[in-house]
């Protein structure tokens, strides 16, 4: 039996990248997983990989910034998988510009996906959390539930050209600390992982002058990092490279596992030593 046998987890943005690796890591340790992506195909791929491991997974796809999404994904976990023990708020992307060129649309899009969406999911989670804790307490059980938020070194240190993303990720750490204080009474830990350079589609190397894009809710957003900048970042990282998604998932897993049952309100900075 894995450490998470019998647990149910939500992982937003788990069709690709770090989120997919988190979903697989939790499933390998026994958790049933609600997988989420904007698009059906990536979510189906993650579910197929989980099922190949012998695990259970269901999809709750769509835009995490939709007003009803928080209620919908919580209810998917409770009704289809029988409960909810772990929430990983991973979905997000970057849409960069210097402040004088940043539009209101850019600002609100990034704040919505990184701050408002987790807020709504956790607000929807609270009634279930309270009810489950009270029922388990009456039965003499103590079940520790977990929330893991995803921040960034941009939120911890700031980053030029990312005033929207840096502000949003700083807000995530404030949300983490506050809910750790509010939800300790329900035997729920709330922690945060702040990543530096992780090798995903958002940070893929670009040739000079080349622009990569992703499609997000009808928007075409430029992503990627110039090769010279990646080389500079690699020189600053004592381990000599950016992290792999599965390594990022390991840091998140730490806060999902019983090994962190007395750790709450913390932000773990994961940078390879930079």
List residues with catalytic annotation. 165
**What gap in Å lies between CA 110 and CA 94, rounded to an integer?**
7
Given the structure tokens 């998470």, which residue do they identify?
4
Give the DSSP H/E element, type plus range, for residue 69: helix 69-81
- Using alpha carbons, list the distances in angstroms from residue 93 to 169, 221, 262: 11, 9, 31
Residues 154 and 61: their CA atoms lie apart, in Å, by 28
Burial of 48 (0-12, 13-18, 19+ CB in 10 A): exposed
Q: Could you tell me which residues come within 8 angstroms of residue 33 by beta carbon, excluding any fewer than 6 positions away?
A: 8, 9, 10, 11, 14, 23, 26, 27, 50, 55, 56, 57, 58
Handedness of CA 127, 128, 130, 135 (dihedral sign): positive
CB 154 within 8 A of CB 143: no
Q: What is the dihedral of CA 102, 108, 109, 115, to 10 degrees?
A: 130
| CA dist., res. 181 & res. 112, Å (int) | 23
Nearest to 87 by CA among 168, 26, 16: 26
């Amino acid at each position: 039996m894995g450490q998470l046998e019998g647990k149910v987890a939500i992982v937003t943005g788990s069709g690709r990248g770090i989120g997919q690796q988190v979903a697989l890591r939790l499933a390998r340790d026994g958790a049933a997983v609600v997988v989420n992506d904007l698009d059906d195909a990536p979510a189906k791929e993650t579910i197929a990989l989980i099922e190949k491991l012998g695990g259970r997974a269901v999809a709750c796809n769509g835009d995490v910034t939709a007003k009803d999404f928080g209620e919908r994904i919580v209810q998917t976990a409770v009704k289809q998988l029988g409960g909810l023990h772990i929430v990983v708020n991973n979905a997000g992307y970057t849409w960069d510009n210097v402040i004088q060129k940043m539009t209101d649309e850019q600002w609100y899009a990034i704040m919505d996906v990184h701050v408002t969406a987790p807020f709504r999911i956790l607000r929807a989670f609270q009634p279930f959390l309270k009810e489950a804790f009270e029922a388990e307490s009456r039965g003499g059980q103590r079940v520790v539930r977990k929330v893991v938020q995803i921040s960034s070194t941009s939120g911890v240190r700031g980053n030029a050209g990312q005033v929207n993303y840096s502000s949003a990720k700083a807000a995530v750490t404030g949300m983490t600390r506050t809910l750790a204080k509010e939800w300790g009474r329900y035997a729920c830990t709330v922690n945060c992982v702040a990543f530096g350079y992780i090798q995903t589609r958002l940070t893929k190397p670009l040739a000079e002058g080349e622009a990569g894009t992703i499609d997000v809710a009808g928007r075409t957003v430029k992503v990627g990092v110039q090769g010279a900048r990646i080389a500079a970042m690699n020189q600053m990282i004592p381990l000599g490279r950016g992290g792999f998604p599965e390594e990022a998932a390991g840091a998140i897993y730490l806060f999902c596992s019983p090994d962190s049952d007395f750790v709450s309100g913390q932000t773990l900075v994961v940078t390879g030593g930079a």
